Structure 1
Amino acid sequence: MAQRTWFITGISSGFGRHMTEQLLERGDRVAGTVRNLDVVDDLKEKYGDLLWVAHLDVTDTPAIYTVVNRAFDQLGTIDVVVSNAGYGLIGAAEELTDEQITHQINTNLVGSIQLVRASLPHLRAQGGGRIIQLSTVGGQAAFAGGSLYHATKWGIEGFIEAVRQEVAPFHIGVTIVEPGGARTNFRHHSIKLASRMEAYDISPAAQARKIVEDKTAVSIGDPAKMAAIMIDSVDQHPAPKRIALGSDCYQVIHQALTGRLQELEAQEELAYSTDFPKEG
């Protein structure tokens, strides 16, 4: 298997860490970004020059361009760019502060958009490559208590769908990955809770808070298996448009899409009724 070079944001934990460990173990090079350089000292010590690490906060757009440009300049060709960094924000829309809203959007949506934009000139210049965008089951279905998180994930999926079409002539493949629940530390370390408003105790939004606060809950998904599928997807041609991972993800997305299709089909006559009459 030919050695590839990967650029992955957020390799300190979760899927980013799993992907990085598997890639380094098989001999690929990884350019990884973290907010705290010390957290990957063990990987740097074990794999040496195979791991290139840079500090990056994806809410800092100029820094994204600086780090991406430096990675391509120093490593040459980068075959795969993985947009992984992000976090969850849970709370009813009214419970969120303006600062929380801005930071969630800047991290999950704007940061991912700018990472792709920063990478595209390099991928075009080298004649192609792959982009993998981490989304979630929450990029196709929505639950009370996750309004801003869903806004960022539905937003990035729309962006990526359009970009996928725009860059196809340049031999750049683009894939959206939609994992369900996985046994990473995401739920307990990468989810932020809004301040509770008593009025919402009777709202379905309160259930999302309870799920996050339940420290005994165990997700069904195996993150190592999921990471391996993401890695293997780069060998598929053309690049898969979407990859759903986890039985919970499949069931939830299937139900959401089926319901939306039924609602659309019920409005077929209404939709057509707004057209101008056909001439002739």
Structure 2
Amino acid sequence: MTTEYSGTGDPARSLALLWRTRDRPHRKGRTDLTVDRIVRAAIDLADTDGLAALSMRRVAEHLGVGTMSLYTHIPGKGELLDVMLDTVYGEPDPEPAPTHGDWRATLTHIAHSTWARYLRHPWLLQVATTRPPLGPHVIARYEHELTAVEGIGLTDLEMDAVVTLLNSYVHGAVRGAVETAQAAARTGMTDDQWWHAHAPYLETVLDAHRYPTAARVGTAAGQEYGATTDPDRAFTFGLDRILDGVAALVATRHTTGGDPTTAPPGR
């Protein structure tokens, strides 16, 4: 559930922080306290305790400084959240990006990189980013995503739509993986343990004649996954289907000579 919204801070102050164009504070204070250190502490706090625990006071306590000392560097929580988001978007990808110019392989890499970012920082799911922080890392990421589909026959608006589709899919799909990880941590029981505890009792009450398809498919899935679902496998399956759709759209452009304006109706 969304609890915060990006882009709520003062625009001039947020952009100055995001692009580090704001002058260093002139008032006396701790010389070791910087924007980067404050933001890193805020990210660590959100990673550990969730976004609901984030406040300027808690960040100050985490750093061992007075709350007011933070305001000499960051005006408030809205601006802090924007810089937190841009910072995590600037983290290096776990795996190197493809270098052979294959748009599908590049989009696959981007999707898995985004998936991994959500798993590292589950609080990202609680931030609505329809008004994204316009920082250097967010914009660089958008440039990278668009470059993946540059020159394959799509219009500019279709390129943007493909990127939006990909990111929206990852955002929705990763929620199950995050919830699975959190459930195991908070209950002390893995999915495999939960399934084996419930499966014997389910077999005694499930009427296979009344629910034949659910019984057959559910049993096969449960035996395969050791759980009700496998978020990683479901993610990969769905991602492949989305990219199949993009490939079909690109193929229509090749059959019409690469001119998007001559694509078949409905495309």
Pairwise TM-score range, normalised by the shorter structure: under 0.3
TM-score by length of 2: 0.28
Compare the two structures and name the one with the higher strand fraction: 1
Compare the two structures and name the one with the higher helix fraction: 2
TM-score by length of 1: 0.27
